[in-house]
Amino acid sequence: MAKFGLITEGITDQIVLENILCGFYKEYEDLDEEIFALEPPRDETDKKQAHSDFGLGWTAIFSYLSEKRFRDDVLNSEYVIIQIDTDIAEGFNCSINQNQTIEEIIECVMQKMIEKIDEKEIFYQKYKEKIIFAISVHSLECWILPFYKDLKTEKVSGCFEALQRESKKIKVEKTYKVYDKLSQKFLKQKELKKIISKNKSFEIFINTLPTNI
């Protein structure tokens, strides 16, 4: 049984989450061997997405959440983490405006995903202790950026471009290898804890992780 199963928009998100988990649970040796990519599936030999359609993103997640495969994956994992960026929230009918709080945005996206999980049969309420949401407002790059720029105020938009500007030693592009390098600092628990307060959606995710696994 997998300790953590990852459901993400892409493989770059998977390696970032894996590094976060390994840093957060620093005392758990070889945790990386118990973290599995559920969606999208990944070819472990070359760290590439097992299917070639990189444009599916959130639509693939929503389709997967209503499938029997998702329910089987939950039953065969201790925990599953579902990651999605909110920059595309309007695509699944979560209207976002500047007056909304981070918490309100996350709650809307969560509810849309729960509706999809329960589309064919009621499942979420029974197994919600095993399901963890990693909802990044508005992109996962916003969780990484504080390692590369000392932010006086929280940044939730344009984070990919900001990361490209601020990362002096790593050329930022959407590959597994690059995002592994960009997120290496998450592996250091002290460094991870330093930036928790820099991004509210990251803080919310960290606070939903089980304290003991």
Domain segments of the chain: what residues? Answer: 2-208
ω before 146 within 30° of 0 (cis)?
no
Evaluate whether 32 touches 22 at the Cβ level (below 8 Å).
yes
pLDDT in tens, 101-141: 999 999 999 999 999 999 999 999 999 999 999 999 999 99
Contacts of residue 37, defined as CB under 8 A and 6 or more positions apart, other chains included, come to 5, 6, 8, 11, 14
pLDDT in tens, 26-85: 999 999 999 999 999 877 555 665 544 444 588 999 999 999 999 999 999 999 999 999
Residue from 30, 36, 200 nearest 15 by CA: 36
Specify the DSSP class assigned to residue 151.
Answer: -
CA distance 145 to 153: 12
Residue 60's pLDDT is what? Answer: 92
Residue 52's pLDDT is what? Answer: 42
Residue 44's pLDDT is what? Answer: 58
Question: Cα separations (Å) of 141 from 29, 53, 156, 169?
Answer: 27, 21, 9, 16
